[in-house]
Amino acid sequence: MVYIYYSYISEVLHSKLLEKYLNKFSPVYQNKVLRFLRWEDAQLSLLGRILLIQGMNDIGKKFNDYQLHYTKYHKPFFIESDLKFNISHSGNMAVCAISDEFEIGIDVELMNEIVVKSFKTHMTSYEWKKINDEEDEICAFYKYWTNKEAVVKAYGKGLSLPLKSFEIINGKVSIKNSSFLVEEIVLHKDYKCSLALMSNKYQDINKLNFDKNKLHIKQMFFKP
C-alpha cells in the first residue's frame, strides 16, 4: 500500500501548529524550524513532518523522532523499521508519501512561468522532444521534471545521479540493479506531482500498479 498526504500552509494557523506539534520533534529539528526567516518555509518543513505523523498513525505505526536517521546522501529513514517515506514541498503545498513495501520518492512543484529551454541539459533527447511536441510546454516540462526528481529521491543517492543519466519511458526506468515505476499524482491544477517506487528486481516492477486499492490519497485540513 502507498499512502499520500498533502496540505496547504496557512499563516492563521502557524502559531498553533508550532505550539501543538513542534515539541514532538528533536531539539535539533525544532531549532531548524525556528531558524527559518519566513514563516512559509518554517511551516512547509513542519507540515511535512506532521503529515508523516498522521500517516503513521493511520497505519498503526508510532512516530519516534529519535529513530529518524539519514544516509550519507541525506535520505531520511527509520532505524528498526521497514517503513519508507519521502517528503516534498513547493509553493504553498507540502506532500508526504509512505510505503510499507517499497523505497519511495515523491516530488511536487508549483508550475511557475519559466524558460523551459534553460533546463534542456537535464533531459535526454527523447524527453526533450516529448516536451517540445506538447502544446503546453511548461506543463510537459514539469511532468518530466517531477518524474525524474521522484526517481532520484527513491534511488536515494542524491546528486550523484544526474537527471540526464536516465530516461523514463511509459512510466518505467531501470538504473543499475533497480527498477522504478513512476506515476503522475493529480493534487491541484497549478501543481505537478510525481511518485516513484523502487524494486531491486527487474521483474517485480511489471507487477506493480497504482490501482485504487493500493493508493491512498488524503488531503489534511487543520482547524484554527
DSSP 8-70: E--TTTHHHHHHHHGGGS-HHHHHHHHH-SSHHHHHHHHHHHHHHHHHHHHTT----GGGEEE
Question: What DSSP designation does 81 have?
Answer: -
Distance of CA 178 to the CA centre of its chain: 19
- Average of per-residue pLDDT values in the chain: 90
181: burial class by Cβ within 10 Å (0-12, 13-18, 19+)? buried
| Whether 101 contacts 18, CB under 8 Å | no
For the whole model, what pTM was predicted?
A: 0.92
Dist. CA 112–CA 101, nearest whole Å:
34
Per-residue pLDDT, 219:
94
Residue range 190-220, pLDDT digits in tens: 999 999 999 766 556 566 666 656 788 999 9
Question: Count of CB atoms within 10 A of residue 36's CB?
Answer: 14
Residue range 90-106, pLDDT digits in tens: 999 999 999 988 899 99
pLDDT band of 74, cuts 50, 70, 90: confident
Which residue shows C-alpha cell 520533534? Answer: 25
Task: List domains and CATH numbers for the chain.
Answer: 2-219 (3.90.470.20)
